[in-house]
Amino acid sequence: MFAQENQETSISKMLNELFCELEHCNEDEQRKKIEEMNEMMNEMNVDEIKSIFTKGLFNKMNKMIEEKKLSIENTILLLKHVGFCKALKNLHDYRFRYSSLNKRMEEMIIEEEEKKEEKNERLLVDLCECYISLSYNFPPKLLSICVTCLLKAALNKEESEENQKEVEIALLALSNTEYNEIDKELYLKEITEIIKYQQKHRNLTKLAYQSAWQFLIYRFFNDDSLEEVIVNELHFGREAARELEELARCIDWKKKGGVEMNKEETKDELILMRWLCPFFDFFRSCRSWNEEFVELISSITKVFRAAKNNFCHIRDQCIHTFLNAVENMAVKIEDLLKSGAVDAVLEEVHQSTLNEDTAYECLLFFLNISERMKEEEDDEKEEMKRRSIKMEIFEKMEEEGYEDAITSFHETTDFLNKKCYYQLSLNISDYFVNA
């Protein structure tokens, strides 16, 4: 039933035992045990969740439903929380998609949606939340039903704590649609209203607001016509910068651990990391540029500096973002200077704990700057500005002893060859912006 590990954690064993007891309990007892299981899940890391919630387990749940040993209501209570934890922790695990329970969910959603009378709206929302947060690569008909249903739930502006939680779950589930193509008519008006209302009234939780933006940014990946709405109407740069800085103030950056020490991350750490992931796609695709994005890169730089000692996964995601920004011709090199990104990456090159992947991205960052700074401008004023920026960057490189660092990397031939870093030049002069 469960994937057994040689060394199961005590919390995994306890959750395993509780699940095994479910088929011998009445519905009320089941509910109490599932609520206990949900509390345990909050303390589990992604590996523990993956080890327990397997395709075999989901098939077992489906069989229990067929044998009337587990009610749909209690199944939903458990699955909603599994989906919530999976989405929050950015766990990409697709085994549910191939289970018999996934098929049952799809059939139930279509059946409930097609009812002419006595449609159970609450049940439909619950089913959609479970299905979207646990599965992937959704059939178009089901995706349309779920997106429409979940956006309707997320538009509920009631300010009770219970409703805020339901809105959060609905938006978190929507963010799990990732790159699935969705007709703009199904979501744009609604998601814009949700974001604008939050900007005015601050009615959403931090996770709900991040999830709304993540859903929209993933749509942008397939539809660049959304850029005007995202950049100028909804002010993504300004909003993301503010949210990032507020979250950064809530994190204990000096603590040892995070995922590197197999410790569970706090909710604020998880939400901050969820912001950084769509930045990667946004900076790769965005063609508009304004001062708000200088503010955003400045906020990312602050997070990068705070994270670099004890939160390597956050540091690395910041570097990914810087790299995508410098490769995007819409992003001005002077803004990377102004925001502190150039200084931050220069500092990272000197870290004694620098690993090869991070070193590669740092070098590629400067290789891109160097290439862009070699392109002369036709306009005299722009050419003078380009030369001034080149001089400023070159002086920073000299001050930081950047040449010695690059030389040491080139002396380590394994660094360039072992992982086939073909994009890196073997000519040391290519990494410098020569004035």
- Rounded distance between C-alpha atoms, residue 43 and residue 267, angstroms: 11
**Residue 417, pLDDT above cutoff 70:** no
| Number of neighbours of residue 227 by Cβ within 10 angstroms | 16
pLDDT confidence band for 114 (50 / 70 / 90): very high
Q: What would the two tokens of residue 274 be?
A: 């969820």
The pair phi, psi for residue 81, each rounded to 5°, is -75, -35
Each residue's pLDDT tens digit, 128-156: 999 999 998 899 999 999 999 999 999 99
For position 435, what pLDDT does the model report? 58
- Rounded distance between C-alpha atoms, residue 314 and residue 312, angstroms: 5
For position 221, what pLDDT does the model report? 87
Range in 26-40, 249-263, 283-297 with the lowest mean pLDDT: 249-263
User: CA nearest 63: which of 25, 115, 103?
Assistant: 103
Tell me which range, 104-108, 177-181, 377-381, is most confidently predicted by mean pLDDT. 104-108
pLDDT confidence band for 263 (50 / 70 / 90): low
pLDDT confidence band for 4 (50 / 70 / 90): very low
Higher pLDDT, 27 or 118: 27
Each residue's pLDDT tens digit, 318-347: 999 999 999 999 999 999 999 999 999 999
For position 260, what pLDDT does the model report? 45
Q: What would the two tokens of residue 239 be?
A: 């909003």
**Residue 93, pLDDT above cutoff 80:** yes
Each residue's pLDDT tens digit, 218-230: 999 889 999 999 9
For position 256, what pLDDT does the model report? 66
> Span 218-245, mean pLDDT?
95
Q: Is the dihedral of CA 368, 373, 375, 381 positive or negative?
A: positive
User: CA nearest 386: which of 325, 434, 339?
Assistant: 434
Each residue's pLDDT tens digit, 266-318: 999 999 999 999 898 899 889 988 999 999 999 999 999 999 889 999 999 99
Higher pLDDT, 218 or 7: 218
Cα angle, residue 323 at apex, residues 423 and 339 outer, rounded to 5°: 145
**Residue 2, pLDDT above cutoff 60:** no
**Residue 8, pLDDT above cutoff 80:** no
Per the confidence metrics, is the pTM higher than 0.85? yes
For position 3, what pLDDT does the model report? 42
pLDDT confidence band for 77 (50 / 70 / 90): very high
For position 7, what pLDDT does the model report? 39
> Span 100-121, mean pLDDT?
95
pLDDT confidence band for 123 (50 / 70 / 90): very high
CA distances, 231 to each of 5, 228, 297, 314 (Å): 47, 5, 15, 24
**Residue 9, pLDDT above cutoff 80:** no
Mean per-residue pLDDT of the chain: 90
For position 285, what pLDDT does the model report? 85
- What percent of the chain shows pLDDT beyond 90? 70
CA-based radius of gyration for the chain: 25
pLDDT confidence band for 416 (50 / 70 / 90): low
For position 141, what pLDDT does the model report? 96
- Rounded distance between C-alpha atoms, residue 213 and residue 112, angstroms: 29
